Each structure stands twice: as C-alpha cells, then as structure tokens.
Structure 1
Amino acid sequence: MLDVRRLNLLRAVVTSGSITAAARNLGYTPSAISQQMTLLEKEAGIPLLERIGRGVQPTAAGRLLTGHADTISRTLAAAETALADLRAGRTGRLSIRYISSIGPTVVAPALSRLREEHPGVQIDLKLIDPEDPLPTADKDRADLTIMVGSGHSNPPGIRLVHLLDDAYCAVLPSGHRLASQRVFDLVELAGEPWVGSEPPGPCLVPIADACAAAGFSPNYVATSEDYATAQAFVAAGLGVCLIPRMGLGNRHSGVAIRRVRRPEPVRTIYAAVPELTLAQPALRTLLDALKDAAKEE
C-alpha cells in the first residue's frame, strides 16, 4: 500500500524540481527526502523519478502518482474540514424517536431551538411504539429516543436522561358526581366503569400500580389507545379514565379534568441516548432544549 505522506513528498519534489529544493522548502535534509523516495519507489514497484542534471523529473509513473497525490491531499483537506464541522455541531444528522403525547409540548419547541442553534444539522424524526421503547432505542440505534420509563434495565451503552414526571389526571363526564371536586382520592373511582386510555406497556404500568395501591383493579368497559377517543368515550358516558397531563392538550368539551391523590399515578419521561453520541454538540443542545421545554410544562 502506498504511503500518503510519501506521496505528498513526491508531489513536493516534482513541484520544486529537485530533492534539494524540496528539502529546503519542507525543512528536511536532502538525504531524508531521498530515503523516502526510495521507499515509495519500492512500494510502487516502478521508478518514479529520473535525474536531469542537478534536478529530477517524474517518470510516467511519477506523474501519475503526483496527480493522485494532489487529489488525495484535497480530499483529505475536505474530510478534515467536514470532520471539524461535525465535531462542532455545524453539520451532521440526528435521528430522534419520540412518543406522540409529548410531541407538541416538549419535542416541537426543543426542535425549534435545535434548528436555530444548529441549522446545518439534518433531523430524522419518527414516532416509536410506546409498548417496547428500550428495545427500539437499542436496535434502531437512534441518537435520542424519548420514552416512558418501564422499570426495566436499559441496554448496555444506553444512558437514560430524566426529562420530566407527568402526572395522570382523572377524566370524568362533565356531570359526574366527583366533577365538583378539584382533587379526590383515587379510591373514589374504584366502583366506576373505566375507559382504557393506554396500550399495554410502560404507560399503563403507573395506572395499574396506583390502582393496586388504592386497593382495587379498574373495571374496563371500553378501550382506546388514543387520548382524544378516550375523552370522547368518557363524554359519551361510557366511564371514567386517567390520562397524563401532557396528553390533555386538546380537551373534550364534555369532560371534567380533575387531580387524583393517594396515590397520584405518574409516568416518568426519559431520553435514551447512546453513550457514544453524548459528546455531540447538537445532541447536547437538543437535550438541554428538551429539559427546558419540560420545565415549562
């Protein structure tokens, strides 16, 4: 394999017209340049220079490699510039996976800030399956996956960054007997028919655990994996449900939203980030923006 440094020395010799002139321009001794040219000719398996008086001129092979040396030098310079831009966060690509319920309130404003501070970074943004977020984060190798904590250990090489705690609220028909109270104990809903608002998975765990702590299991008479549909079912009088505060951006006019306590179900939102990508400036900006957006909610 040809040595790139020696190719650059060959280009300097050919451009300067002699080994002595190249050595003077580069700050080397003529013998050091001659030694490197001898090694390069051994690598090439063909003479590259021929002496003309006190100088040298390239052979056909020497001219060929000199042209390639110039191309390689420009390519390496471009690569170094591109790498510097990537390190500084001026260019690159971030793949982001998120759950839909915090898209409008947290993800959107964070992406706006990312665009402002790193306009050259491309964004690959996709929804994830909330039922199994960590395997998705591990297999997809996204740069950042926003997910609900599941209580399971995270895959090796993945760091979980806490973003916010999102409390569940009771969603009641507007004429419900508890609608007049600002807050009530969760056990008050023990005998009610329930509308399921969450799919199986991490988002359902806080509801099941809180109800179990209050001494009952919900009696689900209808299921929906969509918060808007769940609210419509409640407004129609099918039952009551719990929806996280972040999922109540579009409230149905026929429901009442109330706090519950003893206990208050809470889901924890994390950003799952591969350890190797944490040093990227654009990713650090996005994490800071997500945390700031979460604080405002």
Structure 2
Amino acid sequence: MIDVQRLAVLREVARAGSFAGAAAVLRHTPSAVSQQVAALERSAGLVLVERSTRGVRLTEAGRLLVTTADAVHAELTAAERHLTELREQGPPTLTVVTFPSAGEPLLAPALSPITAGRHVDITVIEAEPEQALDAVRDGRADLALLYHFHLPEPPRGWAAAAGPGTYTPLLTEPFRLVVPADHPLVGRPTIDLADFAGDRWIHGWGGPAEVVDALAALAGFRPQVVCRSSDYRFMSALVGAGVGVTLLPALALPERDDVRVLTLDPPPTRYVGAWVPARPWRNPTVEHLLESLRRRAAELSS
C-alpha cells in the first residue's frame, strides 16, 4: 500500500525541484525528506527521483506517482471542505474561478438564480485559465470558467493540468477592434488588420495579447505597443483618449461615445467554457450553476 503522507512529500519535491526546497515548505529537514522519498521508492520497487548536485529530477515512475499525488491532494482538499460544511451544518458552499471579463456579463447573472430564496456561501476567484486549472486540480474550486483559442475543442493539456473532469462549451466569442471615434478608418465597409499597422496599440496580457501578436504577424506587421493593462475598461478609456487602438473580446466591449467598435473579416475568436472536476460525491449547487451558465450563455449568443 502506498503511503499518502509520503506521496505528499514526493509531490512537494517535484514542485520544488530539490529536497531542500521541499523541506522548507514542509518544515522538515532535507535528510527527513530524502528518507521519506527513499521509503516510498522501496514501497514502489522503483527509482522515483534521479539525484544530482543540481537537484532532483523525476523518473517516469516518479511522474506517474506525482500525477496520482495531485489527484489525491485535490480529493482530500475538496473532501475537507465538504466535511466542514456537513459538520457545521451551514449553507451550501460554492467556489468558482473565472477570468475577469466573464464576471460581469456571464457569471453574475448566472449566480442570481443560485441564491434566489436561499443562502449559498459563494467564493469567486479571478484568474486566467492556467491558474484556474491549478485551483481545480488542487481542490480549491468547484467550477472554472475558461477560454481558449483556435479550435472549439479545449486544449489537450487541460485534462492533465486540471485532473479528471468534464468540459462544457458555453460561448463562441469574437474579438472586435476598438478605435477612437475620430479614427480615419471608421465607416469603411471592410476592415483588415493590416490597415492598422501604423497605429499605436494597447495590449492586454497573456493569451489575448499573444493572439493579437500572432494575427499581426500574419498581416505582416509588429504592433507598436504603447501600453499594457489587464483592465479592459481602462484599455477602452485609453482608446477613447486617443492613446491607441486595441482588440477586445465581445464580453468586454465598451459602451462609450468616444470609441467605435469595428469588425475584422474574419474576426478572431475565442471559446469560453466551464470545467467541472470529477468528485466522488454529487454537488447539486454546481450542477445548478452549470445549467444557469448555459442559459445565460444562450442569452448572450442570441
């Protein structure tokens, strides 16, 4: 039988990349961490880590056990939350991770029916997809709202990053070009990204910015980025002030008199969906929210 505590030690060694780093997190000595891993290796009958003066590296068997350790950690964390709820006989709890631009138009309206007529203890965490998948994997979240680009199907790496679960597609969200109201190309019937090669650009961070850069490269130019922000409202205000132009997802489009929203042909698109981790017990509140998200997404798409 594999010892769960030793699995947890191996998991920290993998995360830290060394016995000393894991020892600092676990508040053990490096020698004690090394002994725990050695005992786990004897139990498994295989070498789990390759030791060197530069740290440690997992073997194939070690990677397999760390994947198992991640799943065990997530299940135990979620079980602790569930037991606390049962022990204290408090209201049902719900933790949702969402990317920022989905909060106001998608998540908030979907949460309204969840709380109608009853008390639900809701926690909302804002995070980009990579961090959201971490929260799901670690058992800290019941549902994650995510986005991805290029294809309607979610990236293959998501299952490995988040652990067992199900993905529900919700929205196909086009990006629009936001320009100052007096931009000379406002009113042109067809717009191509290459037409804006000479403009100054306001960029976001992460995936959306990478998409703009990739599209610009295909159009034959490199954007002159004068400002970066993770706040779409602020980005719209910068456009209205004449600082530059930007590409925004449909959920984040502004309602301002000093900007104009233009449609590229074809429009860049991102796909929005929900990831629900597999759990050994049924959570009716999560199922209720998922159905509410489907209804709200249909309203936004109509």
CA contact (8 A) 1:97 1:146 kept: yes
Closer, same or farther: CA 292–93 of 1 in aligned 2, 3 Å: same
Question: Aligned match of 2:201 in 186, 194, 197?
Answer: 194
Which of 274, 284, 288 is the equivalent residue of 1:285?
Answer: 288
Q: What corresponds to 2:238 in structure 1?
A: 233
1:128 corresponds in structure 2 to: 127
Q: Hey, what does 2:108 align to over in structure 1?
A: 108
Cα distance per residue 1:28-53 (max 9 Å; x no partner): xxxxxxxxxxxxxxxxxxxxxxxxxx
C-alpha displacement of 1:245? 1.1
Q: Distance in 2 between matches of 1:181 and 1:239?
A: 18
Count of aligned pairs: 207
* Cα separation, 2, equivalents of 1:149 and 1:278: 29
Query: Does the 8 Å CA contact 1:173/1:234 hold for their aligned counterparts?
Result: yes
After TM superposition, list the pairs within 5 Å mapping 1:68-79 onto structure 2: none
Following the alignment from structure 2 to structure 1, what is the Cα–Cα distance between the partners of residues 177 and 280? Answer: 39
- Is 1:206 matched with 2:211? yes
**Cα distance between partner residues in 1 of 2:259 and 2:280:** 44
Choose from 270, 282, 285 the match for 1:267: 270
Name the SS of the counterpart of 2:191 in structure 1: strand
The equivalent residue for 2:188 is 181
Structure 1 stretches lacking a partner, 5+ long: 1-81
**Which residue matches 1:13?**
none
Q: 1:122 to 1:183 in 2, by over 3 A?
A: farther
In structure 1, C-alpha distance between the alignment counterparts of 2:119 and 2:240, rounded to whole Å:
46
1:160 aligns with 2:167: yes
- Aligned partner of 1:257 among 255, 258, 261: 261
Q: C-alpha deviations, 1:49-84, integer Å up to 9, x for none?
A: xxxxxxxxxxxxxxxxxxxxxxxxxxxxxxxxx99x
Letter in 1 for 2:126: L
Structure 1's 273 and 231: CA in aligned 2 closer, same or farther, altered over 3 A?
same
In 2 relative to 1, CA 110–277 (structure 1 residues): closer, same or farther, beyond 3 Å? Answer: farther
Cα distance in 2 between the residues matched to 1:217 and 1:278: 50
Change (3 A) 1:93 1:183: farther
Tell me if structure 1 keeps the 8 A contact 2:98–2:132.
no
**Deviation string for 1:213-256 (max 9, x for gaps)?**
333332212222211221222222222111111012x4332111
User: Does the residue aligned with 2:194 lie in a helix, a strand or coil?
Assistant: helix
| Counterpart AA for 2:188 | Q
Q: Decide whether aligned partners of structure 1 residues 277 and 100 sit closer, same or farther in structure 2, where only a CA change above 3 A counts.
A: farther
Mapped partners of 1:152, 1:132: distance in 2: 16
